[in-house]
Structure 1
Amino acid sequence: MSIDLVAWPAGDVERLEAWVAAPHVARWWRPSSTAAVISALRTGGDMPDWGRPWRIDLDGRAIGFALDYAITRDGDVWQNEEGVGPGTRGIDLLIGEPDAVNRKHGRAAMRALATRLFDGPGVDRLVADPHPDNWPAIIAFKRAGFRERGRRQFPSGPVMVLTAAKAVWKA
């Protein structure tokens, strides 16, 4: 089985809306994470300049969504985190297809996205902030190579901070 990341196709808004509304995703997903992407897809406008949406494919079948973004999108919430600076990108990820959940595809997608970002210019650290009770996501991030940095209270609510550094990343 092979995980691939492809740029989110223009016009494919219904799939993303359905995934975000699915009970297994809606429980944990912050709608603000995808609002600008959904709006751009719905209107045919440009994607936000702070982020890049990705479709997660498993052997050619769309199973999830990922977003890498400039951490400044979240305001100042990351400014006090150790090691976070100009070379830091945030990532959000969801597995939308219910039959693909709990099959290690999220972990594989996280690794694929992290490797892609670290192989590109200017990225030396990644951060993620799932809800602290979303243990499946936290475990997937940790098994993908991210380190747990503890609970925080962000304006969006409670989060578990996880980070990955290019300097120690094993592709």
Structure 2
Amino acid sequence: MPIELVPYPADEVARLETWLAAPHVKRWWKPHWTAPVVEAFHAGTPVPDWLRPWRIDLDGRPIGYAQDYDALKDGDVWLQVDGVGPGTRGIDLLIGEEDVVNRKHGRAAIRALTAKLFAEAGCERVVADPHPDHWGAIIAFQKAGYRERGRHRFPSGQVMVLTAAKAVWKA
């Protein structure tokens, strides 16, 4: 199940909007998470430089969307989490194609994106905030090595954190 992350092509914004409207995504995804990307793609302008959109491909087939962002530029919400500072990236992702949901592709995408971030200079910590009731996402993050930090303490979801020093995965 080779997962590949490809910079999200602006000319595929319609696919992203279809995924965002799918009931299995809409239940958990907050529209403001992708608003800067969708708006930039429609306007033909660059995505803000603190945010990077990715297409998740499975064996060459687009199956989902991921993004990473500078946690310190994502408003003040991450400042309340211990250890979040310079070098902290946040991630969000979704599996848009319903026929591949619950097949461990989310976990593989989390690992691939996290590994990509830790390979970059300066990234020491990656954070995520899946909805506290979305157990599939929480388990995927846990299986990818993330640890919980403060259930229901965070306004948008369950705080999950992984540091570069603890990013050791078993096959």
What is the CA distance between 1:158 and its match in structure 2? 4.0
> RMSD of aligned C-alpha atoms?
1.2
| Count of aligned pairs | 169
1:130 aligns with 2:112: no
Partner of 2:158: 160
- Structure 1 length normalisation: TM-score? 0.95
Distance change (3 Å), C-alpha of 1:54 and 1:158: closer
| TM-score, with length taken from structure 2 | 0.95
Is contact 1:151-1:158 (8 Å) kept?
no
Q: Which runs of 4+ in 1 moved over 3 A?
A: none
The letter for the 1-side match of 2:162 is A
Q: Please tell me the residue identity of whatever aligns with 2:76.
A: D
The answer on whether the counterparts of 2:72 and 2:86 sit within 8 Å (CA) in structure 1 is no
Q: Which residue of 2 aligns with 1:60?
A: 60
Structure 1, unpaired ranges of 5+:
none
SS in 1 for 2:37: helix
Output the CA distance in 2 between the equivalents of 1:48 and 1:122: 19
Residue 10 (structure 1) shift: 2.0
Deviates more, 1:99-108 or 1:143-152: 143-152
Question: What is the Cα deviation at residue 143 of structure 1?
Answer: 0.5
Q: CA deviation at 1:63?
A: 0.2
**Residue 9 of structure 1: CA displacement?**
0.8
**C-alpha separation in 1, matches of 2:15 and 2:153:** 31
1:5-84 aligned at under 5 Å gives the runs: 5-84=5-84
Q: What is the rounded CA distance, in whole Å, between the counterparts of 1:26 and 1:43 in structure 2?
A: 23
| Larger proportion of strand | 1
Give identity over the alignment, percent: 61
Deviation at 1:153, TM superposition (A): 4.6
Residues 127 and 164 of structure 1 are in contact (CA less than 8 Å); yes or no, is this contact kept in structure 2?
yes
Letter in 1 for 2:99: D
What is the DSSP-based 3-state SS (H/G/I as helix, E as strand, rest coil) of the residue aligned with 1:4? strand
